[in-house]
A and B are shown apart, each in its own frame.
Chain A
Amino acid sequence: MEVIRLEGIHKTYSDSGVPVHALRGIDLSIAQGEFTVIAGPSGSGKTTLLNIAGALDTPTEGNVFFTGEDIGEKSRNEVASIRLEKLGFVFQAYNLIPVLTAMENIEFTMMLLGIDEKSRHERARQIMRELDIAQLADKRPNEMSGGQQQRVAVARAIVNNPSIILADEPTANLDSETGATLLDLMQQMNREHKLTFVFSSHDQHVIDRAQRLILLRDGVIEQDESL
């Protein structure tokens, strides 16, 4: 089943007055259960592509379909609802809410969905046990290592059972061992729960684990192959 489809995506930045073409005609479809890596050198448009696929940014031209719906026609609040209910994000800098504990960070999106406190606690505890971070429940981000924070970020991303998880350079700030452990975890989630992962990365360790590799260069897809 198709989760995301991008049709004729162009993205041009003109912040400095000089137009920069970050994406130039991207056509792409991501299916349920894929473990996809978007790779490419710096400036190739990986993050821009991920942001557009995740409805964080809008294309200058082209359409983004999420489970068949054109999100270009949605209001800001409707798009926020799609991000909340169907998308999970894992950021390079973890981006946990600093004033909340690990448990509260994981519960936060459930709170936004209006899930009651008891159910939130149960679900958060279950996810934390699965990701082996139960002992971090009461710790705040500044009391955790980078790897621990990123695990909590993964827990936050998957807790609402999203259709797809978009991870932007998730291992870039981690040492190779911690990064590998995190990737193991994500692969396990992909295998066991059929969770769809799309990574943007130029880390070879990430690329090596890809089931599908999309190579971007200068804003166009140079290569798209299943491995």
Chain B
Amino acid sequence: MLFTIAWRNIWRNRRRSLIIMVSVIVGVSAVMVNDGLMVGMIHQMLDNQIGSHVSHIQIHAKGFNANPVVQNVIPERQRVERALEGTAGIRDWSRRNVSFGLLSSARNSAGGRIVGVEADNETAITSIHASIIDGKYLSGKPREMLLGRRMAEKLKVGPGDKVVGMASAMSGDVGSELFRVVGIYETLSSEFDKGYVFTSLEDTRNMLELGDNVLEYAVIVENLDDIEHVTQKLRETLGAEYEVLSYADLLPLLVAQVELYGQMMYIIYVIIGLAMIFGIVNTMLMSVFERIQEFGVLMAIGMKNSYVFRMVMIEALLLALIGTGAGILLGIAMLLPLGTIGIDLSIFAESLTSFGAGAIIYPRLTINSIVSVVLIIPVTALLGALYPALKATRLQPVTAIRYV
């Protein structure tokens, strides 16, 4: 019956209750959309990094990630490839050579990472083949090169032009090769496009004097949830001579950013909750003050303080639950289509692409976001109702009954 009374009391002053509910609805849906936008952006950054180069797992010789020199080749290629073939959960893998080098055209020079890939295998690992904006993807012919749009602009070259690549070779000398630009790619990260060029594995072997050695294996797993498990399995199989790194090891800053953002969102939830508390305090205080005489009667007929307290708290909880429920529905109604259509933030395109997020952000609806508002908003509403509820319990029946 306390619920019945609380429920009906809410609707005694419809306008006031609706105002506080609308404020909760707007707050909840806004925080969900904001959360979805940020989660979407960060995941786009992460997906783009994984999809353009990093892959899920990389295997190198021990110490290569900290000191990526050509002398640090994979010790036993066949052993690694047997491990890759024998480990469950791996979808695709590809060999790579990666080296810092200097690229020169007839007009300009720039430093960058020269990545030698197996053209066909790499299409199953990264999405560079799908990011060509001019020319074509690597065909497997010798001395072909793909440049990012920013790199091509800097070197002032396009498809068909020649570029000389130079890098430190196995012998310690400078190895060089003449390449012909076959295509220009553009990913969602302008920084990536400025720094990475792709050529064939064989060309880098020749240029870097690697023989049939390889510097890196890039791996894609079948199920994202298995990345850590597969990484660990490969570590155990390959032993201490190799470093097996997941994307989380390779992109520590980005992963830390994801975790940091998760914690920051709780702060945003708490701020929204705090703002809501004042609305709840105001509404519930007004509600208590309007019903002082009624509380007096309830106490006179034997209602204990605990019941009075509970009644006020239930009213606040109902207000918050209705507002939170409707806010979640509104948030979902906004996020679902936005997750498909995306939010066009072209006016911030330059900064977004430099972060690797892309100009169109696709917000993501997360269970975490829903669980957070369901837990935080009603709790803050109850905190807000504490003072009015305690105020109601302190009323003296005899004076409250006479209150006009």
Contact = CB atoms under 8 A, between A and B. Distances in A.
Given A97-B297, A99-B8, A104-B4, A91 B401 contact: yes
Nearest to B307: A112
A83 B303 CA distance: 9
Which of B305, B396, B401 is most buried by chain A, counting CB atoms within 10 A of its CB?
A: B401
Contact of B5 (A83, A87, A97): A97
A25 B325 CA distance: 60
A198 B297 CA distance: 18
Interface string A174-213: 0000000000000000000000000000000000000000
B102 interface: no
Interface of A is mostly: helix
Interface of B is mostly: helix
Interface residues of A, number: 26
Interface string B295-332: 00111111111110000000000000000000000000
Nearest to B291: A98
B343 to A, nearest CB: 45
A57 B304 contact: no
Interface string A72-108: 0000110011011101010100010111100010011
B297 A80 contact: no
Contacts of B297: 91, 95, 97
Given A56-B397, A95-B401, A97-B297, A81 B1 contact: no
A156 interface: yes
5 contacts: A80-B302, A85-B302, A87-B302, A91-B297, A109-B302
Interface of B: 1, 4-5, 8-9, 12, 293-294, 297-307, 396-398, 401
Interface of A: 51, 54, 56-57, 76-77, 80-81, 83-85, 87, 89, 91, 95, 97-100, 104, 107-109, 111-112, 156
Given A51-B398, A54-B300, 14 more contacts: A76-B305, A80-B302, A83-B302, A85-B302, A87-B302, A95-B297, A95-B401, A97-B294, A97-B297, A99-B5, A99-B12, A100-B1, A112-B301, A112-B302
